[in-house]
Structure 1
Amino acid sequence: MEAEWIDLTPENLAEEHLCCIIRTRKPHPGVEAKRQWLAQRLREGHVFRKLREKATVFIEYAPLETAWVPVLGDNYLYLYCLWASGDHKGRGYGKALMEQCLADAGAKGRSGVCMLGAEKQKAWLSDQSFARKYGFVPVDRTDYGYELLALSFDGTVPRFTEAARQGEIADQTLTVYYDFQCPYILQSVELVERVCGESGVPVVLEQVDSLEKAKALPCVFQNWAVFYRGKFETVNLLDAAGVKRLLRR
């Protein structure tokens, strides 16, 4: 049977499954926070395309001009997430979604598509080796291990902002920048706050709640970014053990 795809819209957003691993019949605070975030982003050209079933098979991308990342460039799409996992992995869904994104970029006259990568694959980042098969290559990089990958149609390339390339802040306190694009963010914020409170360690939790804040961030960002002692640490979500390891440094 041919796969059936559906795009989230303001009309169907309240009812559609959001494709992450969270499975519950009751409203989940993180999922509902993502719905609210998406309700605004869909008006800005954000695309959330998914398999029409309860599965972790989806892609999210947006015009770079309105993408909540510290990346600049003219006429690009920014690919946030591309996932096909669990029993649905290895069935060609990732290929189909990538090709749909590239076709959409071409049909809209875009200059290309870009995404966040790293010198070594990081958890919570889409598979960059998969993207490279389609011609994505590094076009910019930071000194702290992250790259901007792009597939250019016309020879132009996007770039990190100068602030993002620095990866430093003046505050030495554990600092987390976050938005609610990912359903796991809310519980991760609560976990970091709880662990730091139990340890008697101060923490700064900075919600990125506007495009302007996202474009001005002092590091790469995919909806979560952690600093400690003034240095950028990771875009990976932290569990309790991860927070404690970081604080022991």
Structure 2
Amino acid sequence: MSEFRWAGKVALVTGGNSGIGAAITRRLLELGLIVVVLDRNIDDLQELATKDEVYGRLYPRICDLRHENDVLETFRWIETCLGGVDVLVNNAGITGHNSLVEGSPDEWRHLLEVNVVALCLCTKEAVASMRRRNIKDGHIFNLSSTLAHTIHPYGPLHFYTATKYAVSALTEGVRQELRETKARIRVTSISPGLVKSNIFKSCLGADVHDAVYKKPSLNPSDVASAIEYALNSPTHVQVNEIIIKPMELLA
């Protein structure tokens, strides 16, 4: 393969310490990008950052995306130390514990802050960074879900589903706004089906985790491949959305 056109560019990945975010981080590093990763826990990333093949190109940073100042400070640091953001991957997301009729405003606010508000704030700051430098090939990825296209009967997923519907609307809204200003920034939504990760174990418990993964599922690397595909597409091609499902669930 000839030198990848994003080599040396700066990517920001939210929620990148494990699961899908970690797979995306590794793929971007393989493609030659400099990667800043935000997460509340960066233990795994700090170990990876010491490896010779990525040393000096991976910057893990502890960040609570619910705190606006944490996010803004990260973007200021990137501008000062790395020049600015060329690729943004809004990957961070959480699910709730309770159904709508048993849930609490605190839980709903938490989901909205991480899944929706933080995504909007990171997008706003990334677009501002790209515009300041008048870049010609920026890219924003929003990690959504097949749940943004359906309503699953499992109650604890319903508010999470609502946040992913919001992500779909926000993705298209940002795309339209960027098109109106003729910005050379592409926006892609990635909507995977069930992916092997610890999100169900951390949010809903081991029993739910075990029950869910009796079904066919994707690997985090499958989602990373979708990111790579969209990045590799010609600059005149806008990949609006990629929906990925395990083969057995295609019916």
Coarse TM-score class (shorter-chain normalised): 0.3 to 0.5
- Greater strand content: 1
Could you state the TM-score of these two structures normalised by the residue count of structure 2? 0.35
- Greater helix content: 2
Could you state the TM-score of these two structures normalised by the residue count of structure 1? 0.35
